[in-house]
Amino acid sequence: MADDHDGTRCVHAGLPEPVPGEPFLPGPVFAAPYHLDPWAGPATAPNGYGRPDNPTRRHLEAAIGELEGGQCRVFATGQAAITGLLLTVLRPGDTVVLPTDGYFPVRSFATDTLAGIGVRVLFAPTAGPYPDLDGVRLVLVETPANPGLDVVDVPALAARAHAAGALVAVDNTTATPLGQCPLDLGADLVVASGTKALTGHSDLLLGYVATRSADLLEAVTGWRTITGAVPGPFDAWLAHRSLATLDLRLARQTANAEALARLLVARPDVTGLRWPGLPDDPAYAVASVQMRRMPGVLSFDLGDAERVARFLDAARLVAAATSFGGLHTTADRRAQWGDDTAPGFVRLSCGVEDTVDLVADVTAALDTAGR
């Protein structure tokens, strides 16, 4: 499968061997306890209790692991995955470096919970500069960053971190495994929200951690088993079903993002446009080398909250919603969630609508919103 192209990999990832009369993707297994051998107990079968064991979940983990190039453990949400990873790896007295411009709830978790248990928390912008990494246990980066879309040179940072004895984890939510493979770039761990572009239908919550390290995988698995932060079997089944169209969805979303970026960069009433696929974007030099495809997300500023509201009221194809990566184009004014962004800052997630329709709709909505 490693030699197949992205679309083929997505369609076939994690599926069991074909058996006549059986479905392509077995239905979700709804079970808490399973029948045990009365003499040998759980040693004779892979399933004993639903928290650590579920065949539907294992199919999904195999699929995501194939796409990420490692072994995977899925969690109930992206936040469960990233907090589980941090609490698995870090101990009191350790030092962690986190992005100043990454997902806001992760920063809040670090300053509230991690610092409260004696972990030293340092912050650095995604694009750098980074502090001295001597004595650091973990460097976590989010690239492209959410919501500002800066990019870090993962191989260069990983080489520097490993020389200092630190682990590197990459949040791959925005890029997805088709946009970049952090494990190939030198990262030790990948963490992501599968709620967003990975599954793309805006109908489930999911997170995951992937790695090539048996020791790290065992530690993450143990943490998940003890804390119980597992997705339900139906969410796992929906996620696996959705992976088959990932390549197709991302292709249209990227095309739409490029078209909107070229529209917005030419408008004097839009400022602060960021999309790493634009040659003038500060992230382009690194992203164009490191990423296999650009994300379907861009960000810009409309000046104030009222103008954002007028824009969304006027738009026919752009819905006001948080999260990103779904089939429908959405826009989110991040400051309304307490994120430390400007009042008029917008993160826009391109859906799979026809490009010409989306460009026309955004143009008309911006014209109606005025200055």
Active site residues: 51, 103, 171, 196
Instruction: Output the six-digit token pair for 133.
Output: 């990494």
CA atoms of 138 and 88, how far apart (whole Å): 11
Neighbours of 13 (CB within 10 A): 22
First to last CA, the chain: 52
Strand order in the sheet with 319-320: 271-274, 297-301, 345-349, 330-333, 319-320
How many residues are there in the chain?
Answer: 371
CA atoms of 257 and 268, how far apart (whole Å): 19
Q: Helices marked H in the chain — which ranges?
A: 6-12, 55-68, 78-89, 104-109, 115-116, 154-163, 214-227, 233-243, 246-265, 284-290, 305-314, 355-369
Q: Name the DSSP letter for residue 164.
A: T
